[in-house]
Structure 1
Amino acid sequence: MGTLRWAAGRVGGALVVLWLVATAIFIGVRLIPGDPAEAIMGGPGSQASAEALAAARADYGLDEPLRVQYLMFLGKLLRLDFGTSYALRDPVLGIMGQVLPQTIVLSLLALLLAWVLALVFAAASLRATRVGAVLGNAVEIIAAAVPHFWLGAVLIMVFSSTLGWLPAVDNGTGAGLVLPVLTLALPLAGFLTQLMRDSLSTALASPFSLAARARGDSRLQVFWRHGLRHAALPALGMTGWAFSSLLSGAVVVEAVFARPGLGRALLSAVLSRDIPMVTGIALFSAAIYMVVMALTEGIERALHPAGVDS
Structure 2
Amino acid sequence: MTARLVAAARWLLFKALGAVFVLWAVTTLIFFGIRMIPGDPAEAILGGPGSQASAEALAQVRADYGLDEPLLVQYFMQLGRLLQGDLGDSYSMQVPVSSLLAEQLPPTLVLAFLALVLAWVVALALASWSMLSGRGAAVISSGLEIAGAAVPHFWLATVLIVVFSVNLGWLPPVNTGGVDGLVLPVVTLALPLAGFLGQVMRESMLNAATSPFALSARFRGETERGVLFRHSLRHAAIPGIALSGWAFGSLISGAVVVETIFARPGLGRTLLRAVTDRDIPLVTGVALVAALAYVVVMALSDIAERLADPRVAKR
Shorter-chain-normalised TM-score: which range? over 0.9
The structural deviation recorded for 1:101 is 0.2
Is the aligned partner of 1:296 residue 2:301? yes
Which of these residues, 247, 252, 264, is aligned with residue 259 of structure 1?
Answer: 264
TM-score, scaled relative to structure 2: 0.96
Task: Tell me the residue number matched to 2:274.
Answer: 269
Query: Gaps (5+ residues) in structure 1?
Result: none
Map 1:130-279; keep pairs closer than 5 Å.
Answer: 130-279=135-284
TM-score, scaled relative to structure 1: 0.98
Task: Tell me the residue number matched to 2:46.
Answer: 41
Task: Tell me the residue number matched to 2:3.
Answer: none
Q: Distance in 2 between matches of 1:155 and 1:227?
A: 34
Which of these residues, 280, 286, 291, is aligned with residue 281 of structure 1?
Answer: 286
Which of these residues, 93, 97, 101, is aligned with residue 88 of structure 1?
Answer: 93
Deviations 1:216-266 (A, max 9, x none): 111111111111111011111110110000000000000111111110111
Q: Which amino acid aligns with 1:57?
A: R
Q: Distance in 2 between matches of 1:130 and 1:119?
A: 17
The structural deviation recorded for 1:308 is 4.8
Map 1:93-112; keep pairs closer than 5 Å.
Answer: 93-112=98-117
Q: Which amino acid aligns with 1:180?
A: P
The structural deviation recorded for 1:53 is 0.3
Which of these residues, 65, 71, 83, is aligned with residue 66 of structure 1?
Answer: 71
218-227 or 167-176, which moves further after superposition?
A: 218-227
Deviations 1:30-77 (A, max 9, x none): 222222111111111111000000000011011122232122100111
The structural deviation recorded for 1:279 is 0.7
Q: Distance in 2 between matches of 1:295 and 1:308?
A: 14
* Contact 2:31 2:280 (8 Å CA) reproduced: no
Q: Which amino acid aligns with 2:264?
A: R
Query: Gaps (5+ residues) in structure 2?
Result: 1-5
Q: Distance in 1 between matches of 2:158 and 2:251?
A: 17
Which of these residues, 56, 60, 76, is aligned with residue 55 of structure 1?
Answer: 60
Q: Which amino acid aligns with 1:26?
A: F
Q: Distance in 2 between matches of 1:31 and 1:233?
A: 42
Q: Which amino acid aligns with 2:138?
A: A
Is the aligned partner of 1:27 residue 2:32? yes
* Percent identity between the two aligned chains: 59
Aligned-residue Cα RMSD (Å) equals: 1.1
The structural deviation recorded for 1:164 is 0.8
The structural deviation recorded for 1:80 is 1.9
Q: Post-superposition, which runs of at least 4 consecutive aligned residues in structure 1 deviate over 3 A?
A: none
- Secondary structure of 2:39's counterpart equals coil
Q: For this pair of structures, how many residues does the alignment match?
A: 310
84-93 or 186-195, which moves further after superposition?
A: 84-93
